[in-house]
Amino acid sequence: MNDIRERIIEPLKGEIDKIKNIQEFQVLKSKYVGKKGEISKLMKEIGKIEPEKRKEFGAFVNNLKKEAEAILEEGLEKVKQHLKEMEEKKSWVDITLPGAKRKIGYEHILKQTIRDVYEIFSSMGYKIVEGPEIETTWHNFDALNTPEWHPARDMQDTFYIEGKDNIILRTHTSPVQVRTMLNTEPPLAIISPGRVYRKDEPDATHSPAFNQFEGLYIDKNVTVGHLKATLEQFLTMYFGGSRKVLLRPSYFPFVEPGYEVDVDCMFCGGKGCNVCKGTGWIEILGAGLVHPNVLKNVGYDPEKWQGFAFGTGIERIAMLKYGISDMREFYRNDMRFLGL
Ligand code: DAH
């Protein structure tokens, strides 16, 4: 019987030392103590043994099984210990190494731009006010002296709220002038940023929803000189350097006189380049002296009060400042753009 024991226990001891994981352990276990294993084979032999030796042989096989199980048990513990050590090694952290840097992100360029505009105009004593994006046609057009025939009122250019012919998504921030004057006694100075809507196909310079800011200053004896100085100050603080302003007469129904305002090109210093198309000037704002009809519409006496107003696109001034050529980048949320 000793040689039977040796034939089974010795190889088991050899094999158990080599196993590296639980799967290998299972294979080994079934090879020795499994249903079809070496020891089960011996158990089946018991019946064939002569009756007087049967008891002794039975006890031998049982002990052999216990011995094999003990060896397996010990082997399993060793494998588990080994696996645990490997795992610990893997998750070991060298706390002296520099940490993984996480990007915390940036404020979106449009938000930064609105903040810059806020700060510049606050420093000049302007108050920030906001108005609704869903507007009445009266605030958006009529009160702003924009007659029925004006192309800005065209159904094609504007989003109307379904079933209503007097409620629209505002097409500019100018109605905030009206709302402010209606509930404020002059003098006043406000700046109003916000989203506006137009029925435009998106391309590099158009979007059906974009941002503008509006400025309004009402006082006594206000002239175009005040307007020009204010815009020069804003553009200098926003773009840096020392900016010059060119007022070109233009038409906006709510101002008289009205101007397209150009700034000297910040890319070439006014010499002429691709961006300014060789002219040295870049169109940047619409502005003018508030039309007497607008003042009357909000209950101000135009003999007593005058003012200037101006408006421009937030995207437009941000594109010029940061050299962005496609407006759609602002809304795409591409991390490569946002991480600028
Ligand atoms: N509201 C005009 C637009 O969206 C911009 C503008 C022009 C605003 C002249 C003004 C202004 O206040 O005086 O195109």
Regarding whether 138 and 254 lie in a shared domain, the answer is yes
Regarding whether 160 and 44 lie in a shared domain, the answer is no
Measured in angstroms, how far is the CA atom of residue 158 from the centroid of ligand 1? 16
What is the token pair recorded at 96? 């002296």
Regarding whether 80 and 114 lie in a shared domain, the answer is no
Regarding whether 85 and 32 lie in a shared domain, the answer is yes
Regarding whether 127 and 38 lie in a shared domain, the answer is no
Residue 308 in contact with ligand 1 by CB distance below 6 A: no
Regarding whether 126 and 232 lie in a shared domain, the answer is yes
Query: 219: helix, coil or strand?
Result: strand
- Beta-bridge mates of residue 215: 191, 310
**Is 96 inside any structural domain?**
no
Regarding whether 127 and 60 lie in a shared domain, the answer is no
Residue 33 in contact with ligand 1 by CB distance below 6 A: no
- The confidence score (pLDDT) of residue 335 equals 84
Domain boundary among 61, 90, 119: 90
End-to-end distance of the chain based on CA atoms, in angstroms? Answer: 82
**Is 54 inside any structural domain?**
yes
**Is 95 inside any structural domain?**
no
Measured in angstroms, how far is the CA atom of residue 233 from the centroid of ligand 1? 19
DSSP string across 118-144: HHHHHHTTPEE----SEEEHHHHTGGG
Measured in angstroms, how far is the CA atom of residue 280 from the centroid of ligand 1? 23
Mutate to test the pocket of ligand 1, among 153, 254, 295 (most ligand atoms within 8 A of CB): 254
- The confidence score (pLDDT) of residue 340 equals 53
**Is 249 inside any structural domain?**
yes
Q: Over the stretch 250-270, which tens digit does the pLDDT of each residue have?
A: 999 999 999 999 999 999 999
Domain harbouring 202, CATH code: 3.30.930.10
Query: What contacts 193, CB < 8 A, 6 or more positions away?
Result: 114, 117, 118, 128, 130, 173, 211, 212, 213, 214, 314
**Is 210 inside any structural domain?**
yes
Regarding whether 69 and 130 lie in a shared domain, the answer is no
Measured in angstroms, how far is the CA atom of residue 35 from the centroid of ligand 1? 91
Q: Over the stretch 12-68, which tens digit does the pLDDT of each residue have?
A: 888 888 888 888 888 888 888 888 888 888 888 888 888 888 888 888 888 888 988
Regarding whether 321 and 187 lie in a shared domain, the answer is yes
Regarding whether 232 and 164 lie in a shared domain, the answer is yes
Measured in angstroms, how far is the CA atom of residue 214 from the centroid of ligand 1? 7
**Closest Cα partner for 311 from 178, 213, 227?**
213
Question: What's the gap between Cα 163 and its chain centre?
Answer: 35
**Is 98 inside any structural domain?**
no
Domain boundary among 55, 90, 125: 90
The 8-class DSSP code of residue 171 comes to: S
Query: What domain range is 77 assigned to?
Result: 2-90
CB atoms within 10 A of CB 108: 14
Query: What is the tally of structural domains in the chain?
Result: 2
Regarding whether 288 and 206 lie in a shared domain, the answer is yes
Domain boundary among 90, 123, 145: 90
Measured in angstroms, how far is the CA atom of residue 124 from the centroid of ligand 1? 20
85 assigned to a ligand binding site: no
Q: In the chain, which stretches have pLDDT less than 70?
A: 340
Instruction: Give the integer Cα–Cα distance in Å for 22 and 14.
Output: 17
Mutate to test the pocket of ligand 1, among 158, 172, 283 (most ligand atoms within 8 A of CB): 172
Beta strands in 161-266 (DSSP E): 167-169, 188-197, 209-219, 245-250, 255-264
Residue 146 in contact with ligand 1 by CB distance below 6 A: no
**Is 332 inside any structural domain?**
yes
Greatest CA separation for the chain: 135
Peptide bond into 202 cis (omega under 30): no
Kindly give the number of the ligand 1 atom that is closest to the alpha carbon of 313: 4
**Is 11 inside any structural domain?**
yes
Rg (alpha carbons) of the chain, rounded to whole number: 42
- Beta-bridge mates of residue 308: 217, 289
pTM listed for this prediction:
0.72
Kindly give the number of the ligand 1 atom that is closest to the alpha carbon of 174: 1
Regarding whether 228 and 275 lie in a shared domain, the answer is yes
